[in-house]
């Protein structure tokens, strides 16, 4: 996991569900918690709630949403998976994979403990959709060098984009339990 960008989980007694916090250690180290909440000023927040409904209403400019039943996991949208290609996605503040997937998020019994499965995955990866990768292979789409390097690194590591990387990409999506 990127040491500069971590996630914390906690159960919440006031609103049933799992709360997932995105911690940007650089922001926390720079601003701390004692100077007018500067830790959460600007586009990158030091402490941000990852809202399970994917609506990010707590960050909406001028919004009055102070949290709702869609924010905890699984919450009102029954979102049980948090991974690199889900909505919201487990990405760091540079848009690269944070290195884990949570799935099977559930409450074991009413008012009781939360449970989930944690799977560690590569950090710093580029998130791509299958049509984009298909296009790159067929020459109809152009990927960044970082994306090409990431696909090859997670594929057959021969220094170029090819079918071996495409197969590895598909298999990784299946392991993560997300549609390619
Ligand atoms: Ca919400
Ligand atoms: Ca390759």
Helix (H, G, I), strand (E, B) or coil at 75: helix
In the block, tokens 């998130």 appear at: 127
Domain identity same for 116 and 60: yes
Domain identity same for 27 and 75: yes
Long-range pairs for 29-36: beta carbons < 8 A, 24 or more residues apart = none
Domain identity same for 138 and 103: no
What CA–CA distance (Å, rounded) separates 100 from 59? 24
Question: Is residue 125 one of the residues assigned to a domain?
Answer: no
Question: Is residue 159 one of the residues assigned to a domain?
Answer: yes
Residues with CB under 5 A from ligand 1 (ion): 51, 53, 55, 57, 68, 70-71
Ligand nearest to the CA of 152: 2
What CA–CA distance (Å, rounded) separates 53 from 63? 16
pLDDT class of 155 with cuts at 50, 70, 90: very high
Cα 172 to chain centroid distance, Å, stands at 15
Domain identity same for 69 and 148: no
Domain identity same for 143 and 104: no
DSSP-derived letter for residue 76 is G
Q: Which of 46-55, 77-86, 114-123, 139-148 has the lowest mean pLDDT?
A: 139-148
Domain identity same for 11 and 58: yes
Domain identity same for 108 and 151: no
Ligand 1 mean position, distance from CA 28 (Å):
24
Domain identity same for 26 and 50: yes
Domain identity same for 112 and 138: no
pTM value > 0.85: no
Flag whether pLDDT at 144 surpasses 80: no
| Crossing angle of helices 130-138 and 145-153, rounded to 10° | 100
Domain identity same for 96 and 153: no
pLDDT class of 111 with cuts at 50, 70, 90: confident
Q: β-pairing, 100-107 with 47-50?
A: unpaired
Domain identity same for 54 and 73: yes
Ligand nearest to the CA of 54: 1
Domain identity same for 66 and 134: no
Domain with 107, as residue range(s), is: 5-120
Ligand 1 mean position, distance from CA 137 (Å):
38
pLDDT class of 6 with cuts at 50, 70, 90: low
């Amino acid at each position: 996991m990127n040491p500069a960008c971590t996630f914390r989980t906690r159960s919440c007694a006031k609103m049933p569900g799992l709360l997932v916090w995105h911690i940007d250690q650089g922001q926390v180290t720079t601003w701390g918690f004692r100077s007018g909440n500067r830790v959460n000023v600007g586009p990158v927040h030091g402490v941000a709630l990852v809202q399970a409904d994917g609506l990010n209403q707590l960050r909406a400019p001028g919004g009055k949403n102070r949290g709702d039943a869609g924010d905890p996991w699984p919450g009102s949208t029954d979102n049980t998976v948090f991974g690199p290609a889900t909505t919201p996605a487990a990405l760091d503040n540079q848009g690269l994979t944070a290195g884990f997937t949570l799935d099977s998020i559930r409450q074991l019994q009413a008012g009781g403990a939360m449970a989930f499965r944690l799977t560690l995955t590569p950090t710093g990866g580029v998130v791509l959709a299958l049509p984009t990768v298909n296009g790159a292979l067929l020459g109809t789409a152009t990927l960044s060098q970082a994306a090409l390097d990431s696909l090859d690194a997670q594929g057959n590591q021969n220094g170029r984009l090819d079918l071996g990387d495409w197969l590895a990409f598909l298999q990784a999506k299946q392991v993560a339990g997300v549609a390619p």
